[in-house]
Amino acid sequence: MPRNSDDVRLRLQEAALELYLERGYDKTTAGDIAARAGVTERTFFRHFVDKREVFFDGQEQLRELLVDAVAAVPADTKPLPTLRAAFHQAVPLIEHNLPVTERRYPVIMATPALQERSLAKHAALVAALTDALRARGVSEQLAALHAQVGMDTYAIAIRRWGADRTDDLHTHLDRAFTDLRLAANALK
């Protein structure tokens, strides 16, 4: 039985993915996941609030990275370029997690409870980025608008990269933000 906390978390995540792929999300319990990982159900709940959360570990790390990256951008930088710079800082984390993310994605897309959690996590990132922009002096309304648009643009870049790895994620990010700028200019 693993003793290292990080090792236990990884084993639980892998066990959950295996079971969700084999049985489906609805037919898998936290106890099943724990048993597959070689730990007790109690240990499962020490690490994760519920069986949905096992798929979204690392979200806090991404939030902290993005918030810190926003704070590190020079103060005179406008909100969307600030967010773009922050998203570029997250690329190594996204690339590192890609093998697991790709395997989880079909399970999330096939499971309403996991889709709901994914949307909640996205909204939490938008809220954190809104707060980070407000801390830079951006008004509440504009911070919320920029954070939402920025996160959506970031998500589009990641989806494009997932579909076409000819270019790296940095390139897809820049293209998505260029497309956003062109779309905004078309409103004029």
Statement to judge: residues 95 and 162 lie in one domain? yes
Residue-level pLDDT at 3 = 57
CA torsion, points 176, 57, 37, 23, in degrees to nearest 10?
Answer: -50
Residue that finishes a domain, picked among 15, 33, 53: 53
CA distances, 98 to each of 19, 78, 133, 149 (Å): 20, 30, 28, 23
Global pTM value: 0.88
List the structure tokens of 65: 């990275």
* Structural domains counted in the chain: 2
Statement to judge: residues 35 and 124 lie in one domain? no
Residue 137: other Cβ atoms inside 10 A: 8
Look-up of token digits 């039985």: 1
Q: Please give the angle made by the CA atoms of 56, 148 and 187, to the nearest 5 degrees.
A: 145
Statement to judge: residues 77 and 43 lie in one domain? no
List the structure tokens of 45: 């709940």
Q: What are phi and psi of 88, to 5 degrees?
A: -60, -35
Statement to judge: residues 75 and 104 lie in one domain? yes
Q: Which SS3 state, helix, strand or coil, does residue 29 take?
A: coil
pLDDT in tens, 68-127: 999 999 999 999 999 999 999 999 999 988 888 888 889 999 999 999 999 999 999 999
Statement to judge: residues 62 and 33 lie in one domain? no
Q: Which SS3 state, helix, strand or coil, does residue 81 take?
A: helix
CATH of the domain at 62: 1.10.357.10
* Lowest-confidence segment of 38-52, 96-110, 151-165 by average pLDDT: 96-110
Q: Where does the pLDDT of residue 135 fall: very low under 50, low under 70, confident under 90, or very high at 90 and above?
A: very high
Statement to judge: residues 95 and 174 lie in one domain? yes
Statement to judge: residues 62 and 46 lie in one domain? no
| Model confidence at 1: pLDDT above 80 | no
Residue that finishes a domain, picked among 53, 70, 93: 53
CA torsion, points 69, 71, 73, 78, in degrees to nearest 10?
Answer: 110
Q: Which SS3 state, helix, strand or coil, does residue 178 take?
A: helix
Statement to judge: residues 112 and 127 lie in one domain? yes
Statement to judge: residues 94 and 35 lie in one domain? no
**Mean pLDDT value across residues 164-169:** 94
Residue-level pLDDT at 2 = 44
Statement to judge: residues 41 and 73 lie in one domain? no
Question: 153 and 180 in contact (C-beta within 8 Å)?
Answer: yes
Statement to judge: residues 145 and 67 lie in one domain? yes
Q: Where are the alpha helices (DSSP H) in 38-163?
A: 41-47, 59-72, 79-109, 112-135, 140-163
Domain of 92, in residue numbers? 58-185
Number of Cα atoms under 13 Å in the Cβ half of residue 52:
13
> Whole-number mean pLDDT of the chain?
93
Residue that finishes a domain, picked among 53, 69, 92: 53
Statement to judge: residues 38 and 86 lie in one domain? no
